[in-house]
């Protein structure tokens, strides 16, 4: 009799033990730095998760620093990401690698971008961390590809897509999502104010939009 009571107790414990939360880190630049405050995309994503009844499945945090490029992420990933032992990391970088080429002459050329991006992925995968990559969104919201950096953004987005394909990684294709949204929702071809405040950084609508795109991929990883 005692044996059956023990078995029943263990079975009950197994069914009541809460599942381990997936610790998710969003690794990026100023867009991600702002995402943990106010109406930032991480805050909005957390609200979406709670509304879906999955608050016990995910724990979100941001590791964003303004002005960061891909090699900055690589140099600080030990303390800002790996030491926190995440289960899932979203790599969201590329805007400054493109933007700073013209704004300050300190952007990242394509071969260096590829090398550092792949090195980040390798370090994460060596720790059995699941990786999601994100393409950069916009530097200017004009919908006719007349923004100065559109060609470069498309090129670097294709680089990320190709890396994802080679490594069999999920992609949050923000570049495509933003371009499609601007075509549908920016009839007067404004350069800002649709999803951004200043052509790059997200307004409330942009944060909600990015949160929704992130959720499409994250919910499949629970």
* Parts of the chain with a pLDDT under 50: 1-11, 13-14, 16
Rounded to two decimals, what is the model's pTM? 0.91
Burial 114-147 (b: 16+ CB within 10 A, else e): bebbeebbebbeeeebbbbbbbbbbbbbbbeeeb
Domains located in the chain, CATH noted: 19-221 (3.40.50.1110)
Place of tokens 């400054």: 96
State residue 22's pLDDT score: 97
The token pair that represents 39 in the structure block: 């109406």
State residue 12's pLDDT score: 52
State residue 133's pLDDT score: 98
Q: What does DSSP assign to residue 142?
A: -
Residues 217/170/161/76 CA torsion (nearest 10 deg): 90
Distance CA 80, CA 49 (A): 24
Place of tokens 């919908």: 143
């Amino acid at each position: 009799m005692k044996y059956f009571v023990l078995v029943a107790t263990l079975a009950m414990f197994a069914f009541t033990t809460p599942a381990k939360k997936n610790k998710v880190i969003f690794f990026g630049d100023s867009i991600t730095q702002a995402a943990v405050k106010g109406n930032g995309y991480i805050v909005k994503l957390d609200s979406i998760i709670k509304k879906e009844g999955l608050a016990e499945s995910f724990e979100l945090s941001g590791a964003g620093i303004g002005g960061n490029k891909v090699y900055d992420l690589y140099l600080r990933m030990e303390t800002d990401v790996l030491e926190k032992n995440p289960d899932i990391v979203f790599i969201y970088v590329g805007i400054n690698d493109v933007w700073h080429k013209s704004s300050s002459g300190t952007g990242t050329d394509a071969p260096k971008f590829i090398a550092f991006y792949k090195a980040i992925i390798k370090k994460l995968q060596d720790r059995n961390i699941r990786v999601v990559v994100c393409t950069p969104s916009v530097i200017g919201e004009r919908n006719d590809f007349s923004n100065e950096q559109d060609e470069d953004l498309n090129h670097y987005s294709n680089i990320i897509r190709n890396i994802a394909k080679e490594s069999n990684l999920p992609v949050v294709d923000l570049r495509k999502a933003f371009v499609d949204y601007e075509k549908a929702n920016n009839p007067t071809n404004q350069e800002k104010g649709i999803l951004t405040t200043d052509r790059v950084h997200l307004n409330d609508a942009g944060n909600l939009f990015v949160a929704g795109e992130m959720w499409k991929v994250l919910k499949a990883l629970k």
